[in-house]
């Protein structure tokens, strides 16, 4: 069963961009510089341009993320990697 997360970013990802609605790998960098594992996921645009939803059957980082807002989300696709600062993170 997939886990779902809403991630508020410090900058917008334009709707229709190639990283949305496609399989990708996501990596979280925490404020202390440590990194999560690399998770297979799908990232999709949500209600606002700076909020994305992440769906993953493999990712379960809720406990590790406690208090870690302020890190970075890196999204890796066949077209390359983009990184965005995180200002909010919730499991939905």
Domain ranges of the chain: 3-91
The structure's pTM equals 0.79
Residue 63 phi, psi dihedral angles, 5° rounding: -65, -40
Give the pLDDT confidence of 59-84 residue by residue, as tens digits: 766 545 554 567 888 988 877 788 88
Q: What end-to-end distance do the CA atoms of the chain give, in Å?
A: 13
Q: How do the residues of the chain divide into helix, strand and coil, expressed in percent and rounded to 5?
A: 5, 50, 45
Mean pLDDT (the chain) is: 80
Helix segments in 1-92, DSSP class H: 62-65
């Amino acid at each position: 069963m997939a886990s779902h997360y809403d991630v508020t970013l410090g900058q917008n990802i334009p709707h229709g961009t190639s990283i949305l609605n496609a399989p990708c790998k996501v990596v979280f960098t925490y404020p202390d510089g440590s990194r999560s594992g690399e998770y297979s996921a799908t990232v999709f645009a949500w209600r606002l341009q700076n909020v994305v939803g992440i769906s993953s059957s493999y990712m379960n980082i809720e406990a590790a993320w406690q208090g870690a807002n302020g890190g970075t989300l890196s999204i890796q696709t066949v077209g390359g990697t983009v990184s965005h600062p995180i200002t909010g993170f919730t499991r939905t």
